[in-house]
Structure 1
Amino acid sequence: MNYKEALNFAESGLYGHFEQEEYMKKILILFENPQKNLKIIHIAGTNGKGTTGFYLSHLLESHGYKTGHFSSPHISDYRERIKINNKRIEKDAFIKACEEVKSKEEDISKCGRWPTYFEMSLLIAIIAFRENIDYLILETGIGGREDATNQVGNTVLSVITTIGLDHTQMLGKSLEEIAFHKAGIIKERTPAVSFVHNKNVDDVLKKEADVKNSPLYFVDPHENMEVEKGHAVLCYRDQKIRIKSLGLQQGYNANLAIKAYELLIGDLPRDFSILEKAVFEGRMEILNTAPLFIIDGAHNEEGITLLSENLKQIPYDKLILILGTMSDKEINNFSDIVDLSSVLILTKLEYERAQKPEKILKDYHADSEIYYEDSLEKAVDTALGKGGKNDLILCTGSLYLIGAVRDYIKKD
């Protein structure tokens, strides 16, 4: 198997949502439970899973712990899903894991169906991590209680980030229903930590923890935090830690990661300096400075609200917005950001589910100067042509879009 063949095999998973019925457990048994010696930190939440896991992984690595991180989706490279010490696994290791899965292709098919795209990536990751790490940070796909990751076991800490309205057709239309699904990752007699939410949501989490006899800790996202020119500044051990990435939520997620580290290791980190250097791709990431060009993967109501708040902390003359969405996303979710823009550039992603540029606004009236571009390259070029050195170009609406834009900008 060469790398291209391995990648094609990894991407052979089914698309769609299927009933679990302990499917992932059956698959893992075929491989003699490769997760059996792993210590797993399980993370669920509407937003912030990736960034919280990213900061926690960096803190653990900087204190001598070898850490695996499984996340989804990827932005540019499939191997972003499978990292060891914050680096994509080597192509040879990826090929080896894919070959092992393929060797049991016939046995897998006898389990009732072929794995989904997400299940396949999870299986490959666990096999790749099997003997290489001290901790595995494992992010859920959707929800938690019925997610494939919840059948892996070996959890030493459960982490719950934000809870907002997303995937409502599967998780429910209220925050309490969604919280019930997220709370499902709390394991018997195993510590859990979560952001503070509203009382009703927190009560759902507390009830689950009580049933499981598990200690549950809450983190106030604003605690120990100041804001300086759009950057969160955390205060721990008489140190001031300026988070390198822009955005208030980066500070919130770093706070949660620090508490998770403390629960795992038994003390606060000795050194926080890694948080001043680490930048998580695609989350308030700066690609250019004059004009300031930021990409952010906000694609649901809660993420867009946070993005709107972040924009208020950044000085700029005018906002040039590049927006591309999937067909199942409501333009009203983006209205606050659209209303801030002087120039609005609507574009299309190279995906079947992508919304056509001319249909993104639907009936929404925008006062911006509007351009419709049928490719992201044209959208970026138009934005750069319109942007002065004190302007802000923001690209958002989909992780797929920002990944493609990131590749285009970095290539140049």
Structure 2
Amino acid sequence: MIARLSALHPNRIDLSLDRMHRLLERLDHPELRLPPVIHVAGTNGKGSTVAYLRAILEAAGLRVHAYISPYLVRINECFRLGCAGGGVLVGDDELKRALEHCERTNAGAPLTFFEAKTAAAFWLFAQHEADVLLLEVGLGGRLDSTNVVDAPLATVIAPISTDHTEFLGDSLTSIAGEKAAIIKHNAPVITAEQPPEAMAVIKQQARHQRAPLYAAGQQWHVGVERGRLVYQDDRGLMDLAAPKLFGRHQFNNAGLAIATLRAIETFKIGHAAFEAGVVNAEWPARMQRLSSGALLEMGPQGCEIWLDGGHNAEGGRVAAAALGDLEERVSRPLVVIAGMMGNKDASGFLANFAGLTRHIIAVAIPGQDNAMPPDRLAEAARTLGMRVEISPGIEAALHTLTRLAYEVPPRILIAGSLYLAGHVLAFNSTPPG
């Protein structure tokens, strides 16, 4: 079925709302029957922010639907249905019915797969009661298929940086304009810290839509004190335990989620729910340590294996910062096994690791025709002065490392693409849930 739906449009990505509006009308407008929506855009941190929002809301006893993309291992990961006691991924049979219903209703008209998937999500969510729907933008915002919700509870903008320039423009001003277009009339907009040119666009759009703006570093603040998360806004200060998700950037993502829920007046969430949500939120392939599984057994004895789906310069920066924190705690030699898609900035991504390691292993991404050839990725690493090898895959790369003499077992980061991360999780038998 996925193959049939994917064949309805010659391009995998074709940003437009026309086809979406047409299909939603034929489906009798499920987007008008959704639970209250929190709409989340941004370049990096969208998924983690949604994970914190969901965990906090569920800790407060609320039923939470969530729509995210892309998936790592199974398409079901994109659709989470809220129910008492926590959400569940949609089952295979119900998801098949939703996609088939959209396929029949569309009647062969041009449609991208993401549009079909989003329409199926709206149709599903409209049939299941919930207190809130967390809706993650797929790409950009202005012409993203999710941007058909006219009156969200709030809009959220995670950190903006350069990515997908072929669709969103090659300047931060242009990219911010695409993402800020999810801001709606009178709905509060909550934003992470942004580069000045991106922040200027967000402020302008918020004024145009008369949307109250809650910006990090201005209306709210988050920081780390003695290893704990400290959040402050005009309603007071919260001292919370650190996120389970690793990295300094996760304090910022958690802060963005907290600021969002405190800006929405309809929610009354207590301190205990905020803390439980921050501590318990999980999001695979975001500086995730693989503590068991087939891959760990393949690497050098005693090694650490970390997995991160970061695939742009900013994603590389936060992963490198997290590795720097690890190095300060326990020093180990670092090896980066990297695979990237062909439209990504390999040099911008890898440059972040130049001060941490000189050892890069470039690999292909299985099953991805548009993946960057490993030799091209290797050339980018060599230009940065790194020692680089080419390996046919993750397993072969780990086998190569077992033949090296390490005085201390290495720390291994597998990174560069969510598609690569999905392959790793599937091979390692650690699927997201």
Q: Output aligned runs, 1:304-319, within 5 Å.
A: 304-315=316-327, 316-319=331-334
Aligned length: 399
Per the normalisation by structure 2, the TM-score is: 0.85
| Residue in 2 that maps onto 1:163 | 160
Q: How many angstroms does 1:306 deviate by? A: 1.6
Q: Secondary structure at the match of 2:43?
A: coil
The one-letter code of the counterpart of 1:28 is L
Q: How many angstroms does 1:342 deviate by? A: 4.5
Q: Output aligned runs, 1:7-406, within 5 Å.
A: 7-9=2-4, 11-12=6-7, 14=9, 15-18=11-14, 20=16, 22-38=18-34, 39-85=36-82, 86-106=87-107, 109=109, 113=110, 115-132=111-128, 133-220=130-217, 223-226=221-224, 233-235=228-230, 239-264=239-264, 265-271=266-272, 272-288=275-291, 290-315=302-327, 316-333=331-348, 334-350=350-366, 351-362=368-379, 364-365=382-383, 368-383=386-401, 386=404, 390-406=409-425
Gapped runs of 5+ residues in structure 2?
232-236, 293-301
- Decide whether aligned partners of structure 1 residues 411 and 155 sit closer, same or farther in structure 2, where only a CA change above 3 A counts: closer
Residues 339 and 368, structure 1, Cα contact 8 Å, conserved in 2: no
Q: Secondary structure at the match of 1:400?
A: helix
Q: Secondary structure at the match of 2:326?
A: coil
Q: How many angstroms does 1:322 deviate by? A: 0.4
Residues 45 and 163, structure 1, Cα contact 8 Å, conserved in 2: yes
Name the CA distance, whole Å, in 2 between partners of 1:384 and 1:251: 35
Name the CA distance, whole Å, in 2 between partners of 1:12 and 1:233: 49
Write out per-residue CA displacement over residues 264-319 of structure 1, whole angstroms, 9 at most, x where no aligned residue: 24445432123212220110111038422111111111111222222211123200
Name the CA distance, whole Å, in 1 between partners of 2:403 and 2:72: 25
Name the CA distance, whole Å, in 1 between partners of 2:124 and 2:196: 40
Name the CA distance, whole Å, in 2 between partners of 1:66 and 1:384: 47
- Decide whether aligned partners of structure 1 residues 21 and 126 sit closer, same or farther in structure 2, where only a CA change above 3 A counts: closer
Q: Secondary structure at the match of 1:394?
A: strand
| Residue in 1 that maps onto 2:234 | none
Residues 334 and 410, structure 2, Cα contact 8 Å, conserved in 1: yes
Name the CA distance, whole Å, in 2 between partners of 1:384 and 1:103: 52
Residues 339 and 367, structure 1, Cα contact 8 Å, conserved in 2: no
Name the CA distance, whole Å, in 1 between partners of 2:397 and 2:133: 39
Name the CA distance, whole Å, in 2 between partners of 1:179 and 1:411: 35
Q: Secondary structure at the match of 1:104?
A: helix
Moved more, 44-53 or 234-243: 234-243
Name the CA distance, whole Å, in 1 between partners of 2:414 and 2:153: 37
Residues 99 and 116, structure 2, Cα contact 8 Å, conserved in 1: no
Q: How many angstroms does 1:393 deviate by? A: 0.6
Residues 54 and 64, structure 2, Cα contact 8 Å, conserved in 1: yes
Gapped runs of 5+ residues in structure 1?
none
The one-letter code of the counterpart of 1:250 is Q
Moved more, 69-78 or 386-395: 386-395
Q: How many angstroms does 1:360 deviate by? A: 1.1
Residues 13 and 120, structure 1, Cα contact 8 Å, conserved in 2: no
Q: How many angstroms does 1:179 deviate by? A: 1.3
Compute the RMSD of aligned alpha carbons. Answer: 2.5
- Decide whether aligned partners of structure 1 residues 238 and 118 sit closer, same or farther in structure 2, where only a CA change above 3 A counts: closer
Residues 34 and 130, structure 1, Cα contact 8 Å, conserved in 2: yes
Q: How many angstroms does 1:390 deviate by? A: 4.6
Residues 298 and 307, structure 1, Cα contact 8 Å, conserved in 2: yes
- Decide whether aligned partners of structure 1 residues 145 and 366 sit closer, same or farther in structure 2, where only a CA change above 3 A counts: closer
- Decide whether aligned partners of structure 1 residues 385 and 73 sit closer, same or farther in structure 2, where only a CA change above 3 A counts: farther
Name the CA distance, whole Å, in 2 between partners of 1:347 and 1:149: 33
Name the CA distance, whole Å, in 2 between partners of 1:398 and 1:57: 24
Residues 322 and 383, structure 1, Cα contact 8 Å, conserved in 2: no
Q: Secondary structure at the match of 2:72?
A: coil
Residues 244 and 276, structure 1, Cα contact 8 Å, conserved in 2: yes
Residues 13 and 119, structure 1, Cα contact 8 Å, conserved in 2: no
The one-letter code of the counterpart of 1:287 is L
Write out per-residue CA displacement over residues 110-136 of structure 1, whole angstroms, 9 at most, x where no aligned residue: xxx2x1121111111111111222211
The one-letter code of the counterpart of 1:88 is L
Moved more, 37-46 or 326-335: 326-335
Residues 279 and 285, structure 1, Cα contact 8 Å, conserved in 2: no
Name the CA distance, whole Å, in 2 between partners of 1:347 and 1:243: 31
Name the CA distance, whole Å, in 1 between partners of 2:306 and 2:136: 25
Write out per-residue CA displacement over residues 330-365 of structure 1, whole angstroms, 9 at most, x where no aligned residue: 331112315522432211012101122222122533
Name the CA distance, whole Å, in 2 between partners of 1:379 and 1:55: 34
Q: Secondary structure at the match of 1:406?
A: helix
Q: How many angstroms does 1:8 deviate by? A: 4.5
- Decide whether aligned partners of structure 1 residues 131 and 189 sit closer, same or farther in structure 2, where only a CA change above 3 A counts: same
